[in-house]
Structure 1
Amino acid sequence: METNEKSVVRRFYEIVGSGRPEAFDEVVATDMKGHAGAGGDLTELKESVGSFLAAFPDLTPDVRHLVQEDDLVSVWLSYTGTHEADFAGVPASGRRVKFPGWDLVRVRDGKIVELTQYCDLFMIMSQIGALPTAAPA
């Protein structure tokens, strides 16, 4: 049986997949505290996810595991998308990417109140051609 906290977290990733970070208000508290890739607050979270969506407009999260302890939900997921606009100074390559992510989400009263996000930026940069694929001999 899925808990309310897990349902809120799952809805968060549905919103990411819809390409509408402005809809985060539905599941994220206005005073949310963010860490790492999430930015510091709700506004920065919207901007951070929005910048990913600008570069990878078909960004699709695939939630693999949700593990809960009290009000914390640990999320293991992967993302896929197509590099269609500038990302971290790298022009659109048209390449498909797939990269893992791990998030730690605190949910209280039906809203995300704290979010720590990590994704494998090295893997993204490698897949869009920003890094060499082999060391010189």
Structure 2
Amino acid sequence: MVREDKMRLMDRFLTFINTANPEMANELIHPEVIFYVPGNPEPMRGPGGYMAIVGMMRDAFPDVQWKIDDSVFDGEKVAVRFTMSGTHENTFLGIPATGKTFEVKAMNFYRFENRQIVEEYGLPDMFGLIRQLGAAPGI
């Protein structure tokens, strides 16, 4: 797969996570995908697991959006730096809704096979998010 194809796949993936479209999940996420979520001792699996994480984010932050800031392609791997933003409208990780907006960075690493994501390591700035929600002291 050439760089332009990977860029188009990442753009489609961005559309997927910004819309939570389950049809796009099945198109872009391999049925046996393994993705690692901070705080979970076991990796999540499959499009259903991915939809669960996206759903959890959308429950707490209904307007959550991701934007690609930068990406690096190496073979079948892609590193992407995102900005994630939204409004805290419902409970998140035990933190009651605050109505506060946030903007944090994330660095995710993906591996593709046959135009689908087969592995992801997601590294969002959870401390920055929790701090912006007012649930952790500033530094």
- Structure 2 length as normaliser, TM-score? 0.87
Q: Measure how far apart 1:10 and its partner are.
A: 2.0
Cα distance in 1, alignment partners of residues 24 and 91 from structure 2: 24
Cα distance in 2, alignment partners of residues 21 and 89 from structure 1: 26
Which residue of structure 2 aligns with residue 105 of structure 1? 110
Residue segments in structure 1 that go unaligned for 5+ positions in a row: none
Say if 1:67 and 1:74, in contact at 8 Å, map to a contact too: yes
In the alignment, which of 53, 57, 67 is matched to residue 52 of structure 1? Answer: 57
The aligned amino acid for 2:118 is V
Q: Deviation string for 1:102-122 (max 9, x for gaps)?
A: 110111111111111110100
Which residue of structure 1 aligns with residue 31 of structure 2? 30
Q: Measure how far apart 1:22 and its partner are.
A: 6.2
Q: Percent identity?
A: 25
Q: Measure how far apart 1:4 and its partner are.
A: 1.4
- Structure 1 length as normaliser, TM-score? 0.89
Residue segments in structure 2 that go unaligned for 5+ positions in a row: none
Q: What is the 5 A alignment of 1:112-131?
A: 112-131=117-136
Cα distance in 1, alignment partners of residues 127 and 118 from structure 2: 28
Cα distance in 2, alignment partners of residues 21 and 91 from structure 1: 27
Pair 1:121–1:20, CA change in 2 (3 A): same
Q: Measure how far apart 1:131 and its partner are.
A: 1.1
Which residue of structure 1 aligns with residue 45 of structure 2? 41
Matched length: 134
The aligned amino acid for 1:30 is P
Which residue of structure 1 aligns with residue 21 of structure 2? 20
Which residue of structure 1 aligns with residue 9 of structure 2? 8
Cα distance in 1, alignment partners of residues 6 and 123 from structure 2: 20
Q: Measure how far apart 1:133 and its partner are.
A: 3.2
Which residue of structure 2 aligns with residue 95 of structure 1? 100
